[in-house]
Amino acid sequence: MQFFLEVLIGGLLSGVMYALVALGFVLIYKASGVFNFAQGAMVYLAALSVVGCMEKGAPLWLAIILAFVIMTLFGIATEKFVLRKLVNQPPIALFMATIGLAFFIEGLAPMVFGSDPRALDLGIVDEPIPAILDAWGIVISKFDLVAAGVAALLVTTLALFFQYTRIGRALRAVADDHQAALSIGIPLQHIWAIVWGIAGFVALVAGLMWGARNGVQFALTFTALKALPVLIIGGFTSVPGAIVGGLLIGASEKLAEIYLPPVMQSLFGGNFGGIEGWFPYVLALFFLLVRPEGLFGEKHIDRV
Amino acid sequence: MIYREAGQFKTSYAADQQLFPIRQDRIGVILLLVVAFLIVPAVAGEYWFSAILIPFLIFSLAALGLNILTGYAGQLSLGSAAFMAVGAYAAYNFQLRIEGIPILVSFACAGLTAAGVGILFGLPSLWIKGFYLAVATLAAQFFIVWCLTKFPWFSNYSSSGVISAQKVVILGHEFASPREKYLLVLTLVAVMALAAKNMVRSSTGRAWMAVRDMDVAAEVIGIRLMPTKLLAFAVSSFYCGVAGALYAFCYLGSVEPDGFSLDMSFRILFMIIIGGAGSILGSFLGAAFILLLPIFLDIALPRMAGLLGLPFSNATVSHIQILLFGTLIMFFLIVEPHGLARLWQIGKEKLRLWPFPH
């Protein structure tokens, strides 16, 4: 039981990291209807630019600010030079364009900042918290808790920003109905640029967390791919959905990784590790059969 | 002004509906086949066969398969490499486990196996589309590769799932040299490309295009969506499966599941975006482009850097290559969504009118 809890909590906390990436997808999808495949690559770019700036001698806080500036400029440039040219194209063309964008980033970022894997030290230690370990005998990493706290803070900030600021209201209006928003004088293109800026910021937070956890390396882009099943489960348009979906994916893949291989081994023999590599996608596949709009998504969906 | 089709009157339906209705096109295709079958084997060297021509043909076939699914039937797939893996492993197992099965039969069976798997993973396309489907095909990509790695039966209990393809023997003749393998691959690709060309102008192909352009309208005019979409998945996976079998048997010789990575799926997708979605010719142009670009960069970049006196490493080449792929994808999607095939067509039209502008 104790072991089960430990796996479950570990999974939930790693799910927080997926949720951080998924959040960036949801923001862009809501505001512009673009499914941004490059979000994972943006996470990589953000983490690399922090590490790159620190290598040039900048302190951590300055590196983060510089990375934020880079991400914002990059987001705005993407909107201006790629997506604006593709207005009125079918969504699938936009999706493929963001795949191209992902490759663009994956080529450019290591060229500028170097490609060898590096550690990113945020000053948070990745070790179990003694108090919890003594009281319940469960290993919970301090780092994971901080990551969860950061995610909660980020979601709260975003929610407040969307609810109470002028720009936030405009963003919600655009997400609701492009035409109506345009007709009451909301500048659509500015809004899109802002959304890409915010998505860049979310990517930066995710990049900091992921980079500090696993090191800044190319594999980051693959881990970030897991945000896609998170979105399917949570729903493409829902911020809470991204969080819940992330937790579900994180917990279920860790549980599957621990508890499925022995079962399969007794059935077929052999070694069946690495289930977490595909489990989220297959889970998402089943979700598509049962509830294609996701847990919190809008009912309206491209039904065939 | 290369040619004009003036004066070629069609007096029967058969003449009007043939594969290449213009006489010059027919001559062109026949000339191309003659060059590919007779002249290329006579002049090309070992390196050309094994490093350029054979992979080009195999990837053209895979791109053709994806083009049927994505370009003609409008269902985006990110799992083509996985279906190639299914084909490669199925062909290996047919050869291994059925005594004396002819290699071409096991290629065909490999294609059919891939088609079956394709139908299975195509099922979600019945109620979802667009990027939802793309994520569903990602499941195929990761799950299939994992299965082939972890179930030792598929690779006959070899370590880490590596298989070594058996010898290619047809009617007692062993196809061992790259030249012979090239001829075998070329024959299969030519036959399957003509079959595809034929298929997309038939009622099946028209149904695919109707579904692609607007599924509701297609249903209203009496096209049954389920069989149409599943057929597209089946045919597409068949092509990818055969391409995978050829990849293992005629190109690499020994393959491992991890070789059929997501990156390879993306490459095949890039081939059809750059070559032209919804065009048979485009699959070949795209495959040539995507395969030749890295080779070109490998040769050209160090020289350019040498001329400019810049520091240079091999890692930079691969970064520039990825960067260029990404840029080209965005460029083509923005400027010419129908790819190189459309550029070729525009070029032909212009040449027909030349030297006049209209």
Question: Which one of A26, A80, A92 would you mutate to disrupt binding with B, by most B Cβ within 10 Å of its Cβ?
Answer: A92
B132, A302: Cβ pair inside 8 Å? yes
- CB-CB neighbors (< 8 A) of B323 in chain A: 103-104, 107-108, 111
Positions of chain B with pLDDT lower than 70, given as ranges: 1-3, 311-312
**Contacts B131 to A, Cβ<8 Å:** 35, 91-92, 95
Question: What's the angle, vertex CA B64, arms to CA B61 and CA B66, rounded to 5?
Answer: 115
Describe the crossing of helices B262-275 and B54-66 by its angle, rounded to 10 degrees: 80
From chain B, the residues in CB contact with A231 under 8 A are 135
Q: Which of A34, A96, A282 to mutate to test the interface with B (most CBs of B within 10 A)?
A: A96
How many beta-carbon contacts under 8 Å exist across A and B? Answer: 137
ipTM over 0.90? The verdict is no
CB contact B184 to A (< 8 Å): no
Residues 313-342, chain B: which have Cβ within 8 Å of A? 315-316, 319-330, 333-334, 337
Average pLDDT per run of 10 along chain A, which is 304 residues long? 79 84 85 82 90 84 90 87 82 86 90 80 70 68 81 86 86 80 85 86 88 80 81 81 87 84 72 78 83 69 48
Residue of A nearest to B152 (CA): A270
Q: Which of A95, A101, A272 sits opposite B134 (nearest CB)?
A: A95
Task: Confirm whether A5 is domain-assigned.
Answer: no
> How large is the C-alpha radius of gyration of chain B?
21
Q: Pick the closest to residue A109 from A178, A36, A207 (CA basis).
A: A207
Q: Is the CB of residue B152 less than 8 Å away from at least one CB of chain A?
A: yes
Q: Is A245 a member of any domain?
A: no
- Which residues in chain A are contacts of B315 at CB distance < 8 A? 110, 115
A303 → closest Cβ in B127, B273, B325? B127
Which residues, in sequence order, are bridge partners of residue B163?
A: B255
User: Which residue among A93, A103, A277 places its CB closest to the CB of B322?
Assistant: A103
* Cβ proximity of B242 and B103 under 8 Å: no
Domain membership of residue A241 (yes or no) is no
Which pLDDT score is estimated for A304? 46
Closest chain B CA to residue A87: B334
Nearest chain B Cα distance for residue A48, angstroms: 15
Q: How many CB atoms lie within 10 A of CB A257?
A: 18
Minimum distance, in Å, between the CA of residue A218 and any CA atom of chain B: 12
Name the domain count of chain A.
Answer: 1
CA distance A24 to chain B (A): 16
Q: Which residues contact B344 (CB under 8 A, 6 or more apart)?
A: B281, B285
- Tens-place pLDDT, residues B142-171: 889 888 888 888 888 877 778 888 887 788
Domain with A56 in it = 15-221
Assess if residue A246 is contained within a domain: no
Q: Which two tokens stand for residue B301?
A: 């970049």
Q: Cβ–Cβ of A284/B135 closer than 8 Å?
A: yes
In-domain check, residue A48: yes
3-state DSSP call for residue B78? coil
Q: How far is B323 from chain A (nearest CA, A)?
A: 4
Please, which residues have CB within 8 angstroms of residue B355's CB and are 6 or more apart in sequence?
B1
The SS3 of residue B141 is helix
Nearest CB to B319: which of A92, A107, A282? A107
Closest partner residue to B333 among A96, A111, A222, by Cβ? A96
- The string of DSSP letters for B283-307 reads HHHHHHHHHHHHHHHHHHHHHHHHH
Question: For chain B, which domains are there?
Answer: 28-353 (1.10.3470)
User: Does residue A93 sit within a domain?
Assistant: yes
A128 strand-pairing partners: A141
Among partner residues B132, B143, B329, which is closest to A278 by beta-carbon distance?
B143
Contacts of B266 in chain A (CB under 8 A): 99, 103
What type of residue is B261?
S
How distant is the Cα of B29 from the closest Cα of chain A, in angstroms? 31
Q: Does the distance separating the beta carbons of A102 and B326 come in below 8 Å?
A: yes
Q: Which sign does the torsion angle of CA B2, B8, B14, B16 carry?
A: positive
Q: Does A233 map to a domain?
A: no
Q: Do A304 and B139 touch (CB under 8 A)?
A: no
